[in-house]
């Protein structure tokens, strides 16, 4: 197994921790891990990639470093429920984490029956939705 990818730097870890602090209003425990990823679609070889993992509000998140200033990310609830951002790779770690958090937030709202553009009045009029968590 190939492993040419350097570990997350302290600066990269702090950047992610700061984004999470802004998002959740408190410190979130980050864990260092490794993931095996197929970096080249033309080659079946797996590469061991440094990964940042955290869990928040029922979701698990991973950001994998796939090269110098290259990142992949996803969130999941279970083995059967895994989601990405629609982009294969990011060159900016801040953008990667921000988009990951936004996509997960949008997904959680959609699962709760809340859609962009819906107002409190619209939701109050719909007696079939029951209580709404915002």
Q: Where are the domains of the chain?
A: 10-125
CA nearest neighbour of 112 among 129, 125, 124, 89: 129
**Residue 131 confidence (pLDDT) above 60:** no
What average pLDDT score do residues 57-69 get? 95
The answer to whether 61 touches 20, Cβ cutoff 8 Å, is no
**30 DSSP 8-state letter:** -
The answer to whether 103 touches 85, Cβ cutoff 8 Å, is yes
Work out the number of other CB atoms within 10 angstroms of the CB of residue 77.
15
CA nearest neighbour of 32 among 19, 44, 20, 49: 49
113 Cβ contact list (under 8 Å, min separation 6): 129, 132
CA nearest neighbour of 81 among 114, 97, 104, 106: 104
Tens digits of per-residue pLDDT, 78-118?
A: 999 999 999 999 999 999 999 999 999 998 888 777 555 55
What average pLDDT score do residues 112-133 get? 50
Instruction: Cite the beta strand spans of 1-134 per DSSP E.
Output: 31-37, 47-56, 59-67, 70-78, 81-83
At residue 110, the pLDDT reads 84
User: pTM here?
Assistant: 0.80
């Amino acid at each position: 197994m190939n492993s040419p990818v350097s570990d997350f730097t302290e600066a990269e870890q702090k950047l992610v921790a700061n984004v999470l602090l802004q998002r959740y209003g408190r410190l979130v425990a980050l864990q260092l891990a490794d993931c095996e990823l197929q970096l080249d679609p033309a080659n079946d070889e797996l590469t061991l990639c440094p990964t940042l993992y955290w869990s928040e509000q029922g979701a698990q998140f991973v950001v994998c470093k796939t090269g110098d200033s290259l990142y992949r990310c996803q969130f999941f609830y279970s083995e059967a429920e895994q989601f990405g951002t629609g982009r294969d790779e990011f060159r900016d770690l801040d953008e990667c984490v921000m988009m990951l958090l936004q996509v997960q937030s949008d997904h959680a709202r959609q699962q709760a029956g809340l859609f962009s553009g819906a107002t409190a009045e619209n939701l109050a009029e719909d007696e079939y939705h029951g209580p709404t968590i915002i």
